[in-house]
Amino acid sequence: MPFFAGRKTGRSAPGGVRVLMVRPLILAISLLMIFVVFEVHAAQEDPAAAEAVTFTRKVVDATVKQIHTALGADLDKDGDMDIVATDYRQGDVVWFQNDGRGNYTKKMLDANLPGAYPASVGDVDKDGDTDVIAGGYLADDFVWYQNNGGGNFTRRVIDANTNGAHSIVLGDVDKDGDNDFVTSSQDAGTIACYQNDGRQNFTRRIIDTTALKAKRAEMADLDGDGDMDIVSASFGNHRLAWYQNDGRQNFTRKVITTTAKGAYFVSPADVDGDGDIDLFAASRRNNTVAWYRNDGRGNFTFVKIDGNAMGVRTVIGVDIDRDGDMDAIASSVDDDTVAWHRNDGRGVFTKVVLDRSLNGAYWTAPVDMNGDGRLDLLGAGKVGNTVALYTRN
């Protein structure tokens, strides 16, 4: 199906970020795609799987108000994993220092980021330590916290005009060896890429301005051509879309579906083990966890995993049981549930409920917190203000 290449214009923006508008021009007939729907009615719980993979939950903290994100990273370079979290109500970005024995001390990273919401971790300046990038939904800021070593940080505003910062993901979009990041801004309906010039000067490229109530943006090579494409979930128009990179960071929008009711999250992963990148997705309004099978050319087919994830917010692809295929971890606010969807290797899933009591389960992310070579989970309970650590038994 043919698409026209994008056209770019430039302008200046508040916060010292140069803005490049990338406007995808798309044939009307390419806006809708027809999918064959496969219903996968998974069991609600598989006792055998539950016995094989179990976790012990520990509440690390219950004072992070309306928490949305909890991430693991070794911020002080002492060889163990610390935790980063965002406090929406109090406008804080905090971190929890690990003493090496799994005891955590809460420390303030930023007490002035109103509506602190998304965060990502990685080495932005290539100095060998882990930095933090976070967004303030109410502040309309994306901020880089430069790690100076030992867990001491310098606050640097990258963009002060984001208009509803909702997600931020680090990665090398332009293949120049440093970390850029991609974002979604809910109130602006915008998907953007911030390109790092290697000296930590960022150029914002507007990829899409039609992602109504944009919730999530991620990056992955979806068409197998060796460069990083971008994929988004937008709640307001029930849309999943991907943006094909021509190798020079000009992006063409391709709509995957407009029937993902309340599209909230998307996560790239090779679900069926065929060598190309598929997508996990969460749709809040119809309580659905699904995956979209990639045919290798960027055409996707919808496959339902679970239709009873009440108020689902996130789903992340990860091989929890280390059997060589990608499972999914989903978090749903309205039923306080963290669920593991076990992949049989062919993209057929069995649901295993790991926790039914994470109050307002908004987020769960895999990370090896204790260095035993097995993945643990970090959870964020939005209603209970909870940072929860699930340690693999």
Task: Please check the confidence at residue 1 and state whether its pLDDT lies above 60.
Answer: no
pLDDT tier at 5 (50, 70, 90 boundaries)?
A: very low
Measured distance CA(211)–CA(232) in Å, rounded: 8
Provide mean pLDDT across the span 2-10: 32
pLDDT tier at 32 (50, 70, 90 boundaries)?
A: very low
**Coil, helix or strand for 29?**
helix
Answer for the pair 82, 97: CB distance below 8 angstroms, yes or no.
Answer: yes
Measured distance CA(391)–CA(393) in Å, rounded: 6
Element (H, E) at 380: strand 376-381
Phi and psi at residue 48, to the nearest 5°: -60, -45
Task: Please check the confidence at residue 57 and state whether its pLDDT lies above 60.
Answer: yes
Sheet hosting strand 153-159, strand order edge to edge: 116-122, 131-136, 141-147, 153-159
Measured distance CA(358)–CA(379) in Å, rounded: 8
Measured distance CA(240)–CA(259) in Å, rounded: 9
Provide mean pLDDT across the span 297-322: 96
Question: What confidence score (pLDDT) does residue 253 get?
Answer: 98
Answer for the pair 255, 31: CB distance below 8 angstroms, yes or no.
Answer: yes
Question: What confidence score (pLDDT) does residue 282 get?
Answer: 98
- Average confidence score pLDDT of the chain: 89
pLDDT tier at 31 (50, 70, 90 boundaries)?
A: very low
Structure tokens at 129: 């330590």
Strand partners, 70: 85
* Residue among 188, 236, 184 at smallest CA distance from 215: 184
Q: State the SS3 of 159-208.
A: ECCCCCEEEEEEECCCCCCCCEEEEEECCCCEEEEEEECCCCCEEEEEEE
Question: What confidence score (pLDDT) does residue 297 get?
Answer: 86
pTM comes to 0.87
The phi-psi region of residue 275 (left if phi > 0; otherwise alpha if psi is between -120 and 50; otherwise beta) is left
Alpha carbon 188 to its chain's center: 19
Measured distance CA(161)–CA(194) in Å, rounded: 13
Provide mean pLDDT across the span 141-153: 94
Question: What confidence score (pLDDT) does residue 46 get?
Answer: 57
pLDDT in tens, 84-95: 999 999 999 999
pLDDT in tens, 236-269: 999 999 999 999 999 999 999 999 999 999 999 9
Q: Among 24-28, 106-110, 247-251, 379-383, which is the least confidently predicted range?
A: 24-28
Looking up tokens 């060598």, which residue turns up? 275
pLDDT tier at 40 (50, 70, 90 boundaries)?
A: very low
Half-sphere exposure of 86 (CA within 13 A, CB side): 27
Q: How many CB atoms lie within 10 A of CB 275?
A: 9
Q: Among 20-24, 205-209, 215-219, 251-255, which is the least confidently predicted range?
A: 20-24
pLDDT tier at 49 (50, 70, 90 boundaries)?
A: low
Q: How many CB atoms lie within 10 A of CB 270?
A: 15
Question: What confidence score (pLDDT) does residue 150 get?
Answer: 81
Alpha carbon 46 to its chain's center: 27
Answer for the pair 325, 348: CB distance below 8 angstroms, yes or no.
Answer: no
Question: What confidence score (pLDDT) does residue 112 get?
Answer: 98
Answer for the pair 224, 254: CB distance below 8 angstroms, yes or no.
Answer: no
Measured distance CA(159)–CA(204) in Å, rounded: 9
Question: What confidence score (pLDDT) does residue 22 get?
Answer: 43
Percentage of the chain modeled with pLDDT above 70? 87
Provide mean pLDDT across the span 67-89: 97
Task: Please check the confidence at residue 326 and state whether its pLDDT lies above 50.
Answer: yes
Whole-angstrom CA distances from 237 to 74, 242, 365 are 38, 14, 26
Structure tokens at 12: 């200046």
Measured distance CA(68)–CA(120) in Å, rounded: 12
Whole-angstrom CA distances from 263 to 38, 41, 331, 350 are 19, 21, 14, 22
**Which amino acid, 362?**
Y
Question: What confidence score (pLDDT) does residue 48 get?
Answer: 55
**Helical spans, DSSP H, in the chain:** 47-52
